[in-house]
């Protein structure tokens, strides 16, 4: 499963065991020394113990630095004003457990489990308006209730020292009238219908209502919806937002020439097809600051019948154009991920886009520990985004550090609505000990 910024699940009914309590020194975990249990030592003993503790911490710090030096994914990185302790990023994976489009308390545990001090997490895609939805129980961020529901989730991530971005999106034609206000048709760059697709569970078929082509005068309102959603994300406490411009959703429907058949200023040429995406970027950057904005793009992907005849040109044009706005990062999906499920051989590369974009560059798409390390070591990316592996391994950075075995993910529970199973019940290393 590729992290499409929408749905993911799984869980036994066993209570998750909490790791044993231990002390924290300079952000590092250390077992209490015997001196801390020995009553009231003399001043001289206290002085010696403090010196010894400082020596131990220094040695531990040097050991960790030496280990990280051999594991590129675990080296620190300065992402704008955010000091990251490693380069393993939680992907924005839709989990479809936000009942009634409102984030739920069980998400507090899910996200906090996957938080490490100085780690970056990108939340599942949140709809920017009531026309933006196309999945059952996907979260939104356009109402006050939704904003308030996100706050304790964000607080939990911050309490553990994490950096948290909110992905914001509009599904466009990947919807049907059952998700739309007043049963209206979904909106898109086109009126071309999307053929029925197998849903994430591989059994049910999703039917899509033929979309309505947006009129030119309506487009500024959609841009404004993204701007307000970004403002709401900051109000909820998020450190920034990622604009979802990938995987066949509305922004992608404007950019890709296999979908966009417009003849006005939003269609035809590459510049025209990218106009809507860049207007959204500009509006969001102006609202919350470019240093809090990222964007996700998948120029090579053909999700939801959204392919392009020249993905190299599209990716390069967007990478170069984004520099004008000075946004924090560009997050691109590898060309090998043409579909959501399979890695395929591909002669194309994201290196030209990485070289063209002046901000931080993220890559995603089927990465494992070895090729993630290689991407960082070869300077093909600044950070690597992990979806399925992080879903099934809440302590993924630690497992990478120790080169420990990974839990296997259960695809059958990616998108179910259970608040525990396949969600917060994947075990930590301590649970397997």
User: Mind telling me the catalytic residues?
Assistant: 249
Q: Who contacts 336 (Cβ-Cβ below 8 Å, separation ≥6)?
A: 343, 344, 345, 346, 365, 366
Burial class (CB in 10 A: 0-12, 13-18, 19+), 105: exposed
CA angle 394, 93, 211 (to 5 degrees): 170
Tokens of 284: 């969001």
Q: How far is it, in rounded angstroms, from Cα 189 to Cα 261?
A: 8
Question: CA-to-CA distance for 433 and 427, rounded, in angstroms?
Answer: 10
Copy the structure tokens of residue 400: 């990478």
Pairing of strands 360-364, 329-333: parallel
Pairing of strands 383-386, 88-90: parallel
Q: Cα separation of 95 and 124, whole Å?
A: 7
Measured distance CA(430)–CA(308) in Å, rounded: 46
Give the per-residue SS3 of 119-134: CEEEEEEEECCCCCCC
| Alpha carbons within 13 A on the beta-carbon side of 221 | 10
DSSP strand pairing (163-169 vs 240-245)? parallel
Phi, psi of 101 (to 5 degrees): 70, 15
């Amino acid at each position: 499963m590729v992290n499409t910024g929408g749905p993911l699940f799984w869980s036994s009914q066993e209570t998750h065991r909490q790791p044993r309590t231990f002390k924290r020194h300079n952000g590092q975990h250390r077992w209490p020394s015997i001196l801390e249990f020995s009553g009231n030592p003399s001043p001289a003993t206290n002085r010696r113990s403090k010196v010894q503790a400082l020596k131990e911490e220094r040695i531990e710090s040097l050991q960790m630095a030496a280990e990280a030096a051999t594991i590129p994914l675990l080296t620190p990185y300065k992402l704008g004003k955010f000091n990251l302790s490693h380069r393993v990023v939680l992907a924005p994976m839709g989990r479809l457990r936000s009942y009634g489009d409102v984030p739920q308390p069980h998400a507090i545990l899910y996200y906090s489990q996957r938080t490490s001090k100085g780690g970056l997490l990108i939340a599942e895609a949140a709809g920017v308006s009531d026309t933006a939805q196309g999945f059952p129980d996907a979260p939104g961020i356009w109402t006050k209730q939704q904003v308030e529901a996100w706050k304790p989730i964000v607080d939990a991530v911050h309490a553990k020292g994490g950096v948290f971005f909110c992905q914001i999106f509009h599904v466009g034609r990947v919807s049907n009238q059952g998700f739309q206000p007043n049963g209206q048709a979904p909106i898109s760059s086109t009126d071309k219908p999307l053929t029925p697709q197998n849903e994430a569970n591989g059994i049910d078929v999703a039917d899509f209502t033929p979309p309505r082509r947006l009129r030119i005068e309506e487009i500024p309102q959609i841009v404004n919806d993204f701007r307000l959603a970004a403002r709401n994300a900051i109000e909820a406490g998020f450190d920034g937002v990622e604009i979802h411009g990938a995987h066949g959703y509305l922004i992608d429907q404007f950019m890709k020439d296999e979908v966009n058949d417009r003849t006005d200023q939003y269609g035809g040429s590459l510049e025209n097809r990218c106009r809507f995406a860049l207007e959204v970027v500009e509006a969001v950057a102006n609202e919350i600051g470019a240093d809090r904005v990222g964007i996700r793009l998948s120029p090579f992907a053909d999700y939801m019948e959204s392919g392009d005849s020249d993905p190299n040109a599209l990716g390069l044009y967007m990478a170069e154009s984004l520099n004008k706005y000075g946004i924090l990062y560009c997050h691109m999906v590898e060309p090998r991920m043409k579909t959501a499920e399979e890695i395929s051989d591909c002669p194309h590369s994201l290196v030209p886009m990485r070289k063209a974009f002046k901000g931080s560059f993220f890559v995603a798409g089927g990465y494992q520990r070895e090729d993630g390390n290689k991407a960082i070591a070869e300077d093909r990316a600044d950070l690597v985004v992990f979806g399925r592996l992080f879903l099934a391994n809440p302590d993924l950075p630690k497992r990478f550090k120790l080169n420990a075995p990974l839990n296997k993910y259960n695809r059958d529970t990616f998108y179910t609505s259970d608040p525990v199973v396949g969600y917060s019940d994947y075990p930590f290393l301590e649970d397997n000990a």
